[in-house]
């Protein structure tokens, strides 16, 4: 399954309704598909030093509340029995509050070995920036997380930026925004969110 097909698969499941959404996940809420990383222009790509494949809320929800007074819920809840985690996973996350229109986003997680092209894109961006300190962060990358720009439901264009900022803040990893050749850190992402959401 290619990058465009992976994104389309999750979107099609959402459009067909809850029953078919659930069928794309196993009894623990783990994504059943093989999946491929999304092309850089289709997603915010976060380079995380965390090796775990867990996609649960926890600290992420607290970061959303702190950054924008927003909250999130997993459309299909996840379980991690006996501490087990998937190698690759995807989730459908609904963001709301903080001035956002409720919007459902695709959130992906891949081990770095499954995403060499995305790591190469990050290194090229760091070189174009003259390093900027980001080049020192990339060797720590254990996992790539992506937030698809195209929503699965709802249409608030600010939601992907906010989710990427919260993930970046939680894992302290740099982000390659879609269609850009420049890496951003958590602080820069938070500033973009503040400008996008505007004053309360």
pLDDT in tens, 108-124: 999 999 999 999 999 99
Beta bridge partners of 25: 31
> Cα separation of 39 and 148, whole Å?
10
> Cα separation of 60 and 107, whole Å?
12
pLDDT in tens, 112-156: 999 999 999 999 999 888 867 777 889 999 999 999 999 999 999
Q: Let me know the angle formed at the C-alpha of 29 by 172 and 2, rounded to the nearest 5 degrees.
A: 75
Does the model's pTM come out above 0.85?
yes
DSSP string covering 65-88: HHHHSEEEEESS----GGG---SS
CB atoms near residue 199 (< 10 Å):
5
Q: Let me know the angle formed at the C-alpha of 119 by 149 and 178, rounded to the nearest 5 degrees.
A: 20
pLDDT in tens, 17-30: 333 444 789 999 99
Check whether 47 has a pLDDT greater than 80: yes
């Amino acid at each position: 399954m290619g990058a465009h097909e992976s994104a389309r698969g999750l979107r099609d499941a959402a459009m067909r309704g809850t029953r078919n959404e659930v069928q794309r996940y196993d009894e623990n809420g783990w994504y059943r598909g093989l999946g491929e990383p999304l092309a850089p222009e289709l997603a915010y790509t976060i380079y995380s030093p965390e090796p775990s494949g867990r996609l649960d809320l926890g600290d992420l929800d607290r970061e959303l509340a702190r950054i924008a007074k927003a909250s999130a819920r997993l459309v299909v809840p996840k379980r991690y029995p006996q501490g087990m985690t998937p190698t690759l996973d995807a989730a459908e996350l609904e963001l709301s509050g903080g001035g956002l229109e409720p919007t459902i986003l695709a959130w992906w997680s891949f081990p770095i070995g499954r995403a060499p092209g995305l790591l190469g894109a990050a290194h090229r961006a760091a070189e174009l920036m003259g390093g900027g300190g980001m080049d020192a962060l990339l060797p720590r990358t254990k996992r790539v997380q992506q937030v698809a720009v195209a929503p699965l439901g709802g249409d608030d264009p600010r939601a992907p930026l906010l989710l990427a900022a919260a993930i970046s803040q939680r894992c302290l990893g740099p982000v390659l925004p879609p269609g850009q050749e420049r890496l951003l850190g958590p602080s820069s992402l938070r500033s973009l969110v503040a400008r996008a959401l505007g004053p309360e």
